[in-house]
Amino acid sequence: MAEKPISKESQARTLRGWMLGLHATHIIDIGGRLGYFAELRRRGGVASAEELATALQLDPWRTEVWCRAACTVGILGCTEDKRFTFAPFMDELLGDESPELLTAHVLASLARDFSAYPQAFRTGATKTFQDHDEDFFFHQSRISALRAPEIVAAARAVRQVEARLAAGGAVMDVGSGSGTVLVRFAEEFPTCQAVGIEPLPYFVAQSRRLIDERGVGERVRVEAISGEQIAFHRQFDLVTMVQVFHELPDQAKRGILRRCHRSLKPGGVLLLVDRCSPETAADLRDRRFTMSILEQWFEVTWGNIVNTRSEILAMLRETGFLVTQDSATLVPTYWTFVAEKQEE
Ligand SMILES: C[S@@+](CC[C@H](N)C(=O)[O-])C[C@H]1O[C@@H](n2cnc3c(N)ncnc32)[C@H](O)[C@@H]1O
End-to-end CA distance of the chain: 56
94 and 238 assigned to the same domain: no
Distance from C-alpha of 223 to C-alpha of 51, rounded to nearest angstrom: 49
Query: 92 lies in which domain range?
Result: 12-113
99 and 143 assigned to the same domain: no
End position of a domain, from candidates 88, 113, 138: 113
142 and 214 assigned to the same domain: yes
Q: Is 144 in the pocket of ligand 1 (CB under 6 A)?
A: yes
Residue 209: inside a domain:
yes
- For the beta sheet containing 193-197, the strands, ordered from the edge strand earlier in sequence to the opposite edge, are 220-223, 193-197, 170-174, 236-242, 264-274, 335-340, 322-327
81 and 145 assigned to the same domain: no
Residue 286: inside a domain:
yes
Phi first, then psi, for residue 220 (nearest 5°) are -125, 135
Residue 76: the pLDDT is 98
Residue 124: inside a domain:
no
Closest C-alpha residue for ligand 1 atom 13: 175
145 and 262 assigned to the same domain: yes
91 and 156 assigned to the same domain: no
Residue 248, helix vs strand vs coil? coil
- The alpha carbon of 75 and the centre of ligand 1 are apart by a number of angstroms equal to 34
Residue 319: inside a domain:
yes
Per-residue pLDDT of the chain (344 residues; tens, 9 = 90+): 567 899 999 999 999 999 999 999 999 999 999 999 999 999 999 999 999 999 999 999 999 999 999 999 999 999 999 999 999 999 999 999 999 999 999 999 999 999 999 999 999 999 999 999 999 999 999 999 999 999 999 999 998 999 999 999 999 999 999 999 999 999 999 999 999 999 999 999 999 999 999 999 999 999 999 999 999 999 999 999 999 999 999 999 999 999 999 999 999 999 999 999 999 999 999 999 999 999 999 999 999 999 999 999 999 999 999 999 999 999 988 999 999 999 76
Residue 4: inside a domain:
no
Residue 6: inside a domain:
no
pLDDT digits (tens, 9 = 90+) for 13-30: 999 999 999 999 999 999
CA dihedral 70, 74, 75, 81 (to 10 degrees): 70
Residue 19: inside a domain:
yes
- The alpha carbon of 29 and the centre of ligand 1 are apart by a number of angstroms equal to 24
109 and 141 assigned to the same domain: no
144 and 109 assigned to the same domain: no
End position of a domain, from candidates 47, 81, 113: 113
96 and 148 assigned to the same domain: no
> In the Cβ-directed half-sphere of 140, how many Cα atoms lie within 13 Å?
19
Residue 170, helix vs strand vs coil? strand
- The alpha carbon of 244 and the centre of ligand 1 are apart by a number of angstroms equal to 5
Q: What is the CATH classification number for the domain harbouring 82?
A: 1.10.10.10
Residue among 193, 185, 175 at smallest CA distance from 151: 185
- The alpha carbon of 32 and the centre of ligand 1 are apart by a number of angstroms equal to 26
Residue among 263, 258, 268, 253 at smallest CA distance from 312: 253
101's enclosing H/E stretch is: helix 99-114
pLDDT digits (tens, 9 = 90+) for 280-328: 999 999 999 999 999 999 999 999 999 999 999 999 999 999 999 999 9
Residue 343: the pLDDT is 74
Helices 99-114, 134-156: crossing angle, 10 deg rounding: 130
How many domains does one find in the chain? 2
Residue 279: inside a domain:
yes
Burial annotation 47-56 (CB, 10 A radius, 16+ → b, else e):
bbbebbbebe
Distance from C-alpha of 264 to C-alpha of 144, rounded to nearest angstrom: 25
Residue of 244, 257, 331 to mutate, ligand 1, most atoms within 8 A of C-beta: 244
74 and 167 assigned to the same domain: no
90 and 197 assigned to the same domain: no
Residue 1: the pLDDT is 58
Residue 4: the pLDDT is 80
Residue 159: the pLDDT is 84
Closest C-alpha residue for ligand 1 atom 12: 175
Instruction: Find how far residue 153's CA is from the centre of its chain.
Output: 17
End position of a domain, from candidates 113, 139, 168: 113
Q: What is the CATH classification number for the domain harbouring 150?
A: 3.40.50.150
135 and 108 assigned to the same domain: no
Nearest atom within ligand 1 for CA of residue 145: 9
Instruction: Give all strands (DSSP E) within the chain, no chain letters.
Output: 46-47, 76-78, 84-86, 170-174, 193-197, 220-223, 236-242, 264-274, 322-327, 335-340
Parallel, antiparallel or unpaired: strands 264-274 and 236-242: parallel
Distance from C-alpha of 93 to C-alpha of 75, rounded to nearest angstrom: 10
